């Protein structure tokens, strides 16, 4: 049957002579795989810029729940003329890699879809360097692995394995500085946690990636944060 749904492009792979297989995070259907015809080659009917990481599309698709691979009928950009810059592209690439590793096929998550769509175009003055950490903490909440903010004077070390603050250092606890910064993000009591050094923010982002790897299967070989460490100093 035909179905209309917005979607966010996560990944494409060449298929046959002029087509691609696209992994798309759709609002109605969750993560789905689609054959998109007429993309490759000079006379392609679908422009390559429609399939860049995290491009937001309005889609009409053929949906067979019993098939792992379906076709698209119509595609159009939801944000024609969207700005493109190195920082924004790096952030979108990072978000795309996070989503590609956490989402599972055909599991609708409309609230997460809405969050990602809005996060791309927000203009509330959020510091760019602040986005990756807040994004990962938001995704952790949607995936049911949100770190517990039970921080106190007695329990001030965050344990990656336990997912909570504990009273003594172990092999899986963060340093006092990183634990304190994570608490600032979780509690939102510090209005400018991004004012901390670039190294400390980078270390916390690395720690959150390790946290995802501990609590979500398939979250491995993560790379895009290495670019962010350079760009968001």
Q: Per-residue pLDDT tens for 125-150?
A: 456 778 899 999 999 999 999 999 99
The yes-or-no verdict on residue 205 having pLDDT over 90 is yes
What is the largest distance, in Å, between two alpha-carbon atoms of the chain? Answer: 66
Handedness of CA 209, 95, 215, 221 (dihedral sign): negative
* Structure confidence by residue, pLDDT tens digits, 90-125: 888 999 999 999 998 878 999 999 999 988 765 544
DSSP annotation string for the chain:
-EEEEEEEEEEEEEETTTEEEEEEEETTTEEEEEEE-S-SSTT-SS-GGGGSTT-EEEEEEE--TT-S-EEEEEEEESSTT----HHHHHHHHHHHHHHHHH--BT---HHHHHHHHHHHH--S---GGGHHHHHHHHHHHHTT-PPP----SSS-EEETTTTEEESS--TTBPPHHHHHHHHHHHH--SS-GGGS-HHHHHHHHHHHHHHHHHHSTT--S--THHHHHHHT-
> What pLDDT band is residue 189 in, cutting at 50, 70 and 90?
low
Alpha-carbon dihedral angle through residues 75, 79, 81, 83, given to the nearest 10 degrees: -130
pLDDT at residue number 88: 83
**pLDDT at residue 21, as a whole number:** 96
Backbone angles phi, psi at 125, to 5 degrees: 85, 10
**pLDDT score for 44:** 67
> Packing angle between helix 176-187 and helix 131-142, nearest 10 degrees?
70
pLDDT over 80 (residue 224): no
Bridge-based pairing of strands 30-36 and 70-77 is parallel
CATH classification for the domain delimited by 2-77, as one of 3.30.70.1230, 3.10.20.340, 2.40.50.140, 3.40.50.2300:
2.40.50.140
Give per-residue burial for 145-177: e unless 16+ CB within 10 Å, then b. Answer: eebeeebeeeebbbbbeeeebbeeeeeebbeee
Q: Where in the chain is the domain with CATH 2.40.50.140?
A: 2-77
pLDDT tier for residue 192 given thresholds of 50, 70 and 90: low
Does pLDDT of 229 surpass 80? no
Higher pLDDT: 122 or 211? It is 211
Two tokens, residue 104: 């599972």
Tell me the pLDDT of the chain averaged across its residues.
Answer: 88
**Each residue's pLDDT tens digit, 76-92:** 999 887 767 788 888 88
Which residues on adjacent β-strands are paired with residue 19?
15
> Does pLDDT of 223 surpass 80?
no
pLDDT at 182: 95
The pLDDT of residue 231 is above 70: no
What confidence tens digit (pLDDT) does each residue in 22-77 have? 999 999 999 999 999 888 766 667 788 889 999 999 999 999 988 899 999 999 99
Query: Which residues are registered as beta bridge partners of 24?
Result: 9, 32
């Amino acid at each position: 049957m035909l179905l209309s749904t917005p979607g966010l492009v996560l990944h494409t792979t060449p298929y046959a002579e002029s087509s691609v297989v696209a992994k798309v995070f759709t609002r109605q259907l969750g993560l789905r795989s689609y054959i998109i015809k007429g993309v490759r080659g000079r006379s392609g009917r679908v422009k390559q810029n429609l399939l860049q990481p995290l491009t937001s599309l309005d889609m009409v698709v053929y949906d067979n729940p019993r098939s792992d691979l379906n076709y698209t009928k119509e595609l159009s950009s939801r944000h024609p003329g969207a700005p493109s810059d190195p920082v924004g592209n790096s952030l979108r690439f990072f978000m795309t890699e996070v989503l590609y590793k956490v989402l599972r096929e055909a599991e609708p998550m409309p609230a997460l879809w809405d969050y990602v769509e809005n996060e791309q175009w927000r203009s509330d003055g959020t510091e760019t360097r602040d986005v990756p950490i807040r994004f990962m903490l938001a995704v952790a909440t949607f995936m049911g692995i949100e770190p517990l903010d039970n921080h106190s004077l007695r329990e001030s070390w965050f344990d990656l394995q336990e997912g909570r603050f504990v009273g003594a250092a172990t092999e899986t606890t963060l340093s006092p500085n990183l634990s304190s910064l994570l608490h600032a993000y979780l509690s939102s009591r510090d209005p400018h946690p991004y004012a901390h050094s670039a190294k400390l923010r980078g270390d916390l982002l690395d720690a959150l990636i390790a946290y995802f790897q501990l609590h979500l299967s398939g979250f491995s070989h993560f790379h895009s944060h290495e670019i962010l460490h350079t760009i968001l100093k």
